Amino acid sequence: MPTRRDAFKLVSTAALPALAAAAPSPSKAAIDEYQPGNIKLSHRMPIRNMNDEDLLFLQQLGVRWARIEFGNSADFAMIKATQDRLAKFGMKIYSGVHYAYRELDVQLGRGRRDQLIETYCTFLKDCGKLGIPVANYDWHPANTYTTAEVMTPRGYKARQFKLSDFRSKVEKQAFEREYSTDDIWATYTYFMKAVLPIAEKANVRLALHPDDPPVAKMNGVAKVLVHYDGYKRAEEIAGNSKHWGLTFCVGTWSEGGTQMGKDVFEMIADFGGRGKLVDIHFRNVSSPMPEFIESFPDDGYMDMYQVMKALRKVKFNGTVVPDHVPQLAGDTGIRRAGTAYCIAYMRALLRRANEEVG
């Protein structure tokens, strides 16, 4: 008579083939996040307000790329010092922002325009010398970004824009006269004709942000990048230069909804398919206009995984950054908890998109 132990051995041996068949196969090796052809997770950094502990925190999150907000002044020595400082934390500058372009004399075509444009051109030359490949900019003078900060249903604090509140409580005539779309296109064209040849020679790509929020006129000044046609006209002004492209803000485009001419995915397929996407602001919103709350990427109406997948389908390999990070309990300064949440969520979406798309 076989013992109980012998019987157990017989049953166990007989079950081995079935168990082997049911065992999960080893998963594919994850695509290296830091391969040159992959999307680069980055973060916007107001560098003058950041201490070394802030940079260490971002290094701990695995951030290796930075968009640096240089503000209104940054000479070659300051940019180089920033580059060297970031290198100690394993980070490189992918893009820089110098606010000379944002001055009203430039965007409204007044007074010191040429002097300020020369300052901006010097910045582009310095970026080129230091190997910084991108300069971000926007073109919406007299803009109002938000009408309130509110607590969301999930309990974090975020920016809200309500068109009715803007019109009734906030909007005012900003300048001595109104500025039409023709006026703003004229100042934009003047700027672009001056700076694009410098950017091309320096091998720096100019990345244009859409108008946020996409409202056709604010405070007496027209806005021209509130629709697909605006981006197409800006592209034509740039003469289809490979040194001109988009800072494509998913949040802004989602705010516009059906009024934008093409939706987020059509924009990615169009401009991304032609290599014109440079930098992505990875933000969600609660709903389209006329009222929205800026949200964490998993808490709005846009499916941000599908956005990440669409970017990989067009082989986008520029930077993707958290944008207007909402405020979690206890968060101050660079909002570390909210930033960590965004970066981790984006990394998970990127890994899954790479597994699915290849």
Checking if the pLDDT of 285 tops 80, the result is yes
* Higher local confidence (pLDDT), 11 or 144: 144
Checking if the pLDDT of 113 tops 80, the result is yes
Q: What is the pLDDT of residue 99?
A: 97
Whether residue 24 lies inside any domain: the answer is: no
Task: Work out the pLDDT band at 274, boundaries 50, 70, 90.
Answer: very high
Q: How many CB atoms lie within 10 A of CB 25?
A: 5
First to last CA, the chain: 58
Q: What is the CATH number of the domain that holds 213?
A: 3.20.20.150
Cα separation, 175 vs 221, whole angstroms: 9
Q: What is the pLDDT of residue 32?
A: 79
Whether residue 324 lies inside any domain: the answer is: yes
* Mean pLDDT of the residues in the chain: 93
Q: What is the pLDDT of residue 171?
A: 97
Task: Work out the pLDDT band at 6, boundaries 50, 70, 90.
Answer: low
Q: What is the pLDDT of residue 12?
A: 47
pTM of the model: 0.90
Query: What total number of domains does the chain contain?
Result: 1
Whether residue 12 lies inside any domain: the answer is: no
Whether residue 139 lies inside any domain: the answer is: yes
Q: What is the domain extent for residue 269?
A: 35-357
Cα separation, 179 vs 110, whole angstroms: 12
Checking if the pLDDT of 133 tops 70, the result is yes
Beta-bridge partners for 47 = none
Express as a percent the part of the chain with pLDDT over 70. 91
Judge contact between 38 and 317, C-beta under 8 A: yes
Whether residue 15 lies inside any domain: the answer is: no
> How open is the CA angle 154-210-239, to the nearest 5 degrees?
155
For residue 275 the two structure tokens come to 């290599």
Task: Work out the pLDDT band at 240, boundaries 50, 70, 90.
Answer: confident
